[in-house]
Amino acid sequence: MNEKIIKGVVIFLAVSILSILIINLDKITDKITSIYLKRHDIVFPDSDEYFLNRNFEFVQVPESYVPYGYHDLLNIFYAILDHGWTEFTFYCANEYTSCIEDAKAISKDKDLLTHLNNFVHPYHSADNMVTTLHGNGEIHVVVEYLYTEDEITKINRKVDEIYKKQVKSNAPLRTKILTIHDYIINNSKYDVVRSSSKNSLYHSNIAYGPLFEGFATCNGYTDLMFLFLEKLGVRSLKVAKTPLQDKDFDGHVWNALYIENKWLHLDLTWDDPVSTDGKDYLQHNYYLLTTAELKEVDEPKEIIDHQFPTNIYYELKN
């Protein structure tokens, strides 16, 4: 056979094999990682009814549970919470050399955990996340959730009861949201004790407090409003300014919801002000505001509570 033809065939085969390798690089790498770590396939626990399965600018539902970079890793932690898994084990890709260090940093970052909680259902909010890391790239995550099963059952029953009594099925959406906003504020007060000393007798930091005890912190208001927004079929998330941004600041959280093709802010805490005269007040200063309108309301009073990180809550940037 002609030497030129032989060389051409060899070059063609080499290029073809190289192209196949490039196209299937991720699959091949995953397989090599699997063999190298001598691991079983990833076990995916069942999800419950509170799995939202939503994508945001900051975090998305993972396409793969083998992380190749920091954002892949962050998405997996988000997915663990979104699914409501109490335990989950996954494995780093070999070429992601800082995977273990990054996982350790994520698991210890309380402010980051707060932000991740804000993109999932309140019942999937993590109170604590314990991550066990192994040198071979195995990462085992155990999550302790904020809500108990008993609390969830009672809250759901009460939310259904209030919704049927208070919300008129034929009312416009904005009217329905306003009805719930006013009901929550009229039936609860801000828990000053928990805010100042953390030793409150009430479950005011979750939806149980405003529903059954009449007391709430910003977390309680926000979680409860989120539950009603879900019943209304309104997509929402929670927004937070955390102490990381301001060490002299305890943090604040409120709702953001997507209606009429835009994201709007809704802050029940600031619409239920603590009074010095002992009277209960209901305001609508923070009811369905754009980000620009939110800044306008805050600026005359130099309020810092709503200065949220736009690199995390990118949807609310404008």
Beta strands in 177-296 (DSSP E): 189-190, 215-216, 236-241, 252-259, 262-266, 287-289
Q: What CA–CA distance (Å, rounded) separates 303 from 287?
A: 16
- pLDDT tens by residue, 227-267: 999 999 999 999 999 876 555 567 899 999 999 999 999 99
d(CA 136, CA 33): 10
Q: What is the pLDDT of residue 35?
A: 46
Q: Which of 74, 81, 86 is nearest to 237 (CA)?
A: 81
DSSP code for 53: -
- Mapped onto helix, strand or coil, the DSSP state of residue 98 is coil
| Residue ranges, the chain, pLDDT below 70 | 1-40, 244-249, 275-278
Q: Where are the domains of the chain?
A: 25-146, 149-316
Q: What is the pLDDT of residue 318?
A: 80
Q: Name every residue whose Cβ is closer than 8 Å to that of residue 52 and which is 6 or more positions away in sequence.
A: 82, 120, 121
**Pairing mode, strands 215-216 and 189-190:** parallel
Predicted model pTM: 0.85
Residue 281 CB neighbour total at 10 angstroms = 11
Provide CATH code, domain 149-316: 3.10.620
Res 38: pLDDT? 45
Predicted local confidence at residue 243, as pLDDT: 74
